Amino acid sequence: DLTTTIGNYTFANPLMNASGVNCFDKDELDAMVASASGSMVTKSATVKPRPGNPEPRYADLTLGSINSMGLPNLGIDYYLDYVATYQAAHPADAIFMSIVGTTFDDNIAVAHRIQDSDFAGLTEINLSCPNVPGEPQTAYDPAQTVKILDALFSFFTKPLGVKLPPFFDLAQFDQMAAILNRYPLAFINTMNSIGNGLMIDAETDTALIKPKGGFGGIGGAYAKPIALANVRAFRQRLNSNIRIIGTGGVHTGRDVYELILCGADMVQVGTALHQEGPQIFARLLTELQAEMTRKGYTNLPEFRGALKTL
């Protein structure tokens, strides 16, 4: 039994894509629907379509990936259309929409579009995009985070969660968790890519990607220990009714298991999904089930948050 819940929603298993991967358009989203994942999320949508940053803007690395996509997306109307069609065909299967604004006003405007729609799933507001030139990562600014959450919860009544950037200091976890605990959040998603890394081609001494002088978000195996710590630190600090989506460095069923051990209710896959394609979900489920069997567990609550420390 791999079922998991967030709020009133139950999912057959905890796996889904991380926003940005396999969710740009109908073809990619349909492939997610056809996969073994328990749910899915759409690409972070802005009010208007965006082309994103100049290419090359993504590179696979030996241990992960670097990207500076710059929020290429087809605009909120496209994704609202898609989820409306999806809901009609799959009334029992909830999915997530990711939304983002490059300004305060745009964050509020795009959330209003969801509130005013028939979308009946969960909304993830992205407070952590590292890749829009000139725009800081919102959740690294506590005052701006409070301002956005205050504004959102003044009108938004659907299940809402926040996508957070990685934090690195225990004082940051204390501060951010205290802020988040003041709001009726359905979930947090920790974490986004590790912002503003730099990778260099060894032959040409050139940055691998073009935007922002080569700076980009790092994902994949590089991210796993940081993701485990972020899930663990927030699970120890957040109200128990705020669920946690764990994201970062999942390549195997053991990686999924470890994020759940740290407290994750659902687990997203980004870099490895990009590299392996949607058939990765069937493999991860088989490997997760094998790990659970090896440890004598038959369901997720038996080991969720059960990390042992010395």
The contact set with ligand DHB (CB under 6 A) reads: 20, 44, 52, 68-71, 126, 128-131, 192-193, 217
Q: Which is nearer to ligand DHB, 41 or 285 (CB)?
A: 41
CA distances from 76 to 91, 161, 200 (A): 21, 17, 35
Q: 64-67 and 58-61 as β-strands: parallel, antiparallel, unpaired?
A: antiparallel
> Distance between CA atoms of 231 and 218, rounded to whole angstroms?
18
Give 4 or 189: the residue with its C-beta nearer to ligand DHB. Answer: 189
By the 8 A CB rule, do 73 and 41 touch?
no
Q: Is the Cβ of residue 45 or residue 94 nearer to ligand DHB in the bound state?
A: 45
Give the orientation angle of helix 142-153 with respect to helix 104-115, to 10 degrees: 30
Cα dihedral 72, 73, 76, 78, rounded to 10, equals 160
129 is catalytic: yes
Output the smallest distance, CB 149 to ligand DHB, in A: 17
Question: Is 203 strand, coil or helix?
Answer: coil
Query: 67 forms bridges with which residues in the sheet?
Result: 58, 217
Q: Which of 19, 35, 129, 193 is catalytic?
A: 129
> Nearest distance from residue 26's CB to ligand DHB, in Å?
19
Nearer residue to ligand DHB within complex by CB, 13 or 268: 268
Q: How far is CA 95 from CA 33, 123, 138, in A?
A: 10, 9, 24
CB of 19 to ligand DHB, least distance (A): 7
Q: Which residue has the tokens 């994704």?
A: 79
Q: How far is the CB of 129 from ligand DHB (least distance, A)?
A: 3
**Closer residue to ligand DHB in complex, CB, 125/231:** 125
Catalytic residue among 37, 39, 128, 193: 128
| CA distances to 14, 172, 257, 290 from 2, in Å | 7, 32, 11, 12
Q: How far is the CB of 50 from ligand DHB (least distance, A)?
A: 8
Question: φ and ψ at 152, to 5 degrees?
Answer: -60, -50
The set of catalytic residues is 128-129
